[in-house]
Amino acid sequence: MTLTQAAERLRGATLAELSADSVRAGRLRLRVGPVYADFCRQRIDGPGLDVLLALAEAVGLDRMRQALAEGDVLNSTEARPALHHVVRAAAEDVPGSVRDAQTQAVEAVARVQDWVRRLLDEGLGDAHPVRDVVNVGIGGSDLGPRLLDEAIADPAGSPRLHFVSSVDAHRAAGLMARLDPATTLVVLVSKSFGTEETLLNGRLFVDWLAATLGDAAMRRRVFAVTANVEAAQRFGVDPERCLPIWEWVGGRYSLWSAVGFSFALTHGMANFRHLLEGARAMDRHFFEAPLDRNLPVLRGLVEHWNRVAFDYRARCVVPYDVRLMHLPAYLQQLEMESNGKSVRRDGVPVEQPTAPIVWGGVGTDAQHAFFQALHQGTQVVPVEFIGVIQPAHAHDAHHRVLLANLLAQSAALAHGHEVRDGDDDDALAAHKRHEGNRPSTVILLDALTPESLGALIAMYEHSVFVEACLVGINPFDQFGVELGKRIARQFLPALASDEAAATLDPVTQALIREIRSR
Ligand code: F6P
């Protein structure tokens, strides 16, 4: 049976009927440490799962998983392995082929720890404590630390963490207007140290520190996290304050490395280490558990099923926990930058659709914004609900309402409702009708801790890898973001000169005329 045939069998089936099958449920529910996932409200059954597992076997998922573990050059277009999992591994977890990388990662975490201790104990070396930390970076150099910052509480009295990512200078200007340079530390996070936004924003902060405090004090307040130490040093960063990241860790997979420095400094080294521990536990599960009892694999198979067999073009991520407000944006980069590709590893066009549009918002706010379309719109969008069982506050009544809403939304999407109030006529009843049969997944964390968050993020990373393997693409490069950057460099002079603008296409010329006329 092909994937399409397996899906066709289920077009008429309701999620209510499917959910009554307890054997099926046993295959679609899984707990790994603090992460529990329930895929029972997906439009899939046992034979569908078998077809997906056969596909996993046919594409050599087991072999690919081993190749990832052993550090094979899976990022073939950039001739690199992908070793983000090694960064959080212990020596006994890894094979000899990646032992050297694991040692470097341990040394890097030790350097992070050493700086965190020095900066918190001794301050900035001129009698000033660190009160504010500005993380300057974009994409993977921003979204990970930003997600962690909001999700994990900081110990009392810790420095505050701020983020500057876009080249839009409103953020940087606002921060410089209110922060005290004497007590501010700036971390320039850029694997390449060539990202225009980060260099421009970094220059603003470096100049601000130098102008207000002088060069020597500025140099004590600027750190870089980069694989391009020479460029960071040319920029003016003290070599001792350059923390490493490596070509073999992709930007969107990098929060486990020194990219987590600003988080460790403001939220505690212990929290950072626990985050790595949580991810490490999920790694062990992913690399060791059989494919049919493997959470990242199961999720990857279900996602593939939704995208390929049912052609669902989007997926909505809705955490019911404000602390996870940045998860949708984080997953957008992780999934869309990894798998938003049109060719396979060998350069041949893919035969199936790839990454869906990933978007979302926080529950219950999202219910009052876009859930109308999820329930009654013409496009079916599978939803991924993420809930946290134990809150970190004492307001149990609120938390019960929050969880009740999560459960209600998933049930309402699945079962729909024929609403006819009192004397409603047919037309009004039609407006109120919820057709149901809209798939969703529920993921529950026991509590939101560094461990559970580490495990959750690692689960997503591996799941994205599984999806890439099923379609045969390389999830570790991102050539699609380069073209726009190149064109922006070409367009820059046109904003100032008629002559340069004259070489551009007519639409751009008209827009530039409008911009320059104001
Ligand atoms: O947006 C493209 C990208 O290359 C991402 O993959 C990366 O996370 C981001 O830019 C930032 O890159 P860097 O860390 O090199 O500044």
In a domain, 18, yes or no: no
Q: Is the CB of 200 under 6 A from ligand 1?
A: no
> For residue 197, which atom of ligand 1 is closest to its CA?
16
- pLDDT for position 425: 85
Tokens 């959910």 appear where?
A: 19
Decide the pairing of beta strands 132-136 and 160-164.
Answer: parallel
Instruction: Write the CB contacts of 116 (distance below 8 Å, at least 6 apart in sequence).
Output: 261, 264, 265, 269
Do 378 and 314 lie in one domain? The reply is yes
The best mutation among 84, 256, 257, 481 to test binding of ligand 1, ranked by most ligand atoms within 8 Å of the C-beta, falls on 481
List 385's β-bridge partners, or say none: 318, 442
Q: What is the rounded average pLDDT of the residues 331-360? A: 96
CA distance 124 to 99: 35
In a domain, 359, yes or no: yes
- pLDDT for position 488: 83
Do 257 and 299 lie in one domain? The reply is no
Strand, helix or coil for residue 74: coil
Q: Is the CB of 134 under 6 A from ligand 1?
A: no
Do 136 and 119 lie in one domain? The reply is yes
Do 250 and 334 lie in one domain? The reply is no
Do 440 and 506 lie in one domain? The reply is no
Rounded (5°) CA angle 259-265-268: 110
CA distance 2 to 196: 47
Do 136 and 228 lie in one domain? The reply is yes
What's the whole-model pTM score?
A: 0.96
Upper half-sphere CA count for residue 486 (Cβ side, 13 Å): 5
- pLDDT for position 491: 86
List 384's β-bridge partners, or say none: 317, 441
- pLDDT for position 422: 79
In a domain, 72, yes or no: no
Instruction: Write the CB contacts of 96 (distance below 8 Å, at least 6 apart in sequence).
Output: none
The best mutation among 192, 248, 479 to test binding of ligand 1, ranked by most ligand atoms within 8 Å of the C-beta, falls on 192
Span 176-225, pLDDT tens digits: 999 999 999 999 999 999 999 999 999 999 999 999 999 999 999 999 99
List 315's β-bridge partners, or say none: 358
Do 438 and 321 lie in one domain? The reply is yes
Q: Is the CB of 165 under 6 A from ligand 1?
A: no
Do 473 and 487 lie in one domain? The reply is no
The DSSP H or E segment spanning 148 is helix 143-151
Instruction: Write the DSSP assignment of 18-69 as a string of letters.
Output: HHT-HHHHHHHEEEETTEEEE-TTSS--HHHHHHHHHHHHHTTHHHHHHHHH
- pLDDT for position 143: 98
Angle between helices 143-151 and 450-471 (to 10 degrees): 140
Q: Is the CB of 202 under 6 A from ligand 1?
A: no
- pLDDT for position 500: 85
In a domain, 16, yes or no: no
In a domain, 327, yes or no: yes
Span 247-280, pLDDT tens digits: 999 999 999 999 999 999 999 999 999 999 999 9
Q: What is the rounded average pLDDT of the residues 473-479? A: 96
Q: Is the CB of 362 under 6 A from ligand 1?
A: no
Span 64-80, pLDDT tens digits: 999 999 999 999 999 99
Structural domain for 396, as ranges: 3-8+28-58+289-417+434-477
Nearest-Å Rg of the Cα atoms of the chain is: 25
* pLDDT surpasses 80 at 158: yes
The best mutation among 478, 479, 483, 485 to test binding of ligand 1, ranked by most ligand atoms within 8 Å of the C-beta, falls on 478
In a domain, 115, yes or no: yes
Hey, what are 376's tokens? 């009654």
In a domain, 246, yes or no: yes
The best mutation among 138, 188, 229 to test binding of ligand 1, ranked by most ligand atoms within 8 Å of the C-beta, falls on 138
Do 185 and 300 lie in one domain? The reply is no
Q: Is the CB of 251 under 6 A from ligand 1?
A: yes
Q: What is the rounded average pLDDT of the residues 372-396? A: 97
Averaged confidence pLDDT in the chain: 95
- pLDDT for position 220: 97
> For residue 252, which atom of ligand 1 is closest to its CA?
8
Do 262 and 369 lie in one domain? The reply is no
Using 50, 70 and 90 to split pLDDT, how confident is the model at 473? very high
Q: Is the CB of 252 under 6 A from ligand 1?
A: yes
* CATH number, residue 363: 3.40.50.10490
* pLDDT surpasses 90 at 442: yes
Atom 10, ligand 1: residue with shortest CA distance? 139
Span 3-21, pLDDT tens digits: 999 999 998 899 999 999 9
- pLDDT for position 499: 85
220, 239, 272 — which closes off a domain?
272
Residue 325 alpha carbon to ligand 1 centre in Å? 21
Do 261 and 308 lie in one domain? The reply is no
Atom 8, ligand 1: residue with shortest CA distance? 140
CA distance 340 to 353: 9
205, 240, 272 — which closes off a domain?
272
**Tally of domains in the chain:** 3
| Residues assigned a catalytic role | 337, 368, 485
CA 66 to each of CA 60, 287, 472: distance values in angstroms, whole numbers, following the listed order: 10, 7, 16
Using 50, 70 and 90 to split pLDDT, how confident is the model at 1? confident
- pLDDT for position 426: 85
Q: Which of 45, 72, 46, 77 is nearest to 60 (CA)?
A: 72
What is the percent of the chain where pLDDT is above 90?
Answer: 88
Using 50, 70 and 90 to split pLDDT, how confident is the model at 501? confident
User: Between 430 and 128, where is the model more confident?
Assistant: 128
Decide the pairing of beta strands 35-38 and 440-447.
Answer: antiparallel
Do 266 and 154 lie in one domain? The reply is yes
272, 300, 324 — which closes off a domain?
272
Residue 251 alpha carbon to ligand 1 centre in Å? 6
CA distance 92 to 46: 37
Hey, what are 81's tokens? 């392995």
In a domain, 352, yes or no: yes
Q: Is the CB of 141 under 6 A from ligand 1?
A: yes
- pLDDT for position 391: 97
Could you tell me what percentage of the chain is helix, strand and coil, using 3-state DSSP and rounding each to the nearest 5?
55, 10, 30
> For residue 251, which atom of ligand 1 is closest to its CA?
8
- Read off φ and ψ for residue 502, nearest 5 degrees: -60, -20
Instruction: Write the CB contacts of 481 (distance below 8 Å, at least 6 apart in sequence).
Output: 337
CA distance 296 to 9: 26
User: Between 249 and 489, where is the model more confident?
Assistant: 249
Q: Is the CB of 139 under 6 A from ligand 1?
A: yes
